[in-house]
Amino acid sequence: MECREGKIPILEAEMTRICAQCEMEHSADGLMEQMCSSDFVVKMRIKEIKIDNGDRKLIGAQKKKKLLKAGPLKRKGTKKLVLHMKNGAGCPCPQLDSLTGSFLVMGRKVEGQLLLTAVYRWDKKNKEMKFAVKFMFSYPCSLYYPFFYGAAEPH
């Protein structure tokens, strides 16, 4: 540790940054924006997490999945759901400290892989999350977030 005159000590250890998937805004607007930009949204339990080539893989529990926005997912294909967090092996994701309970996960399907874009711990008491999930089904994403959708493309 290095100390400069009258200043706070400088730590040599590098601080690990939280990855984009874990540092998402927990407001209703932030959740809605994430939902609109995602191909799929699932409420699920996570059975285990594996590290593979610098990526983190979230393996879903066989049961207890609820497709809120199916997108490219088929109900049969969710039995062995594996979500990939690109370059997420070193991410100190606070949402994934404990795998108990359910999670709201969002992502996109890219080249056959399901890439995680956001993960939130499911909290029944969180009013922002309740509002976003309830309102999601009637929310016209193309009106509020046209940059995610083509202008003439109906959604």
Question: How confident is the model over 98-120, as a mean pLDDT?
Answer: 90
Helix (H) or strand (E) holding 37: helix 28-37
**Statement: residue 2 has pLDDT above 60:** no
Instruction: Say if residues 122 and 66 touch (Cβ distance below 8 Å).
Output: no
pTM recorded for the entire structure: 0.75
What does DSSP assign to residue 2? B
Distance of CA 13 to the CA centre of its chain: 28
Domains assigned to the chain: 20-138 (2.40.50.120)
Mean pLDDT estimate for the chain: 76
Share of the chain above pLDDT 90, in %: 13
Q: What is the pLDDT of residue 88?
A: 82
pLDDT digits (tens, 9 = 90+) for 22-39: 876 667 777 888 888 888
Q: What is the pLDDT of residue 144?
A: 52
pLDDT digits (tens, 9 = 90+) for 129-146: 888 877 776 767 765 554
Q: Work out the pLDDT band at 15, boundaries 50, 70, 90.
A: very low
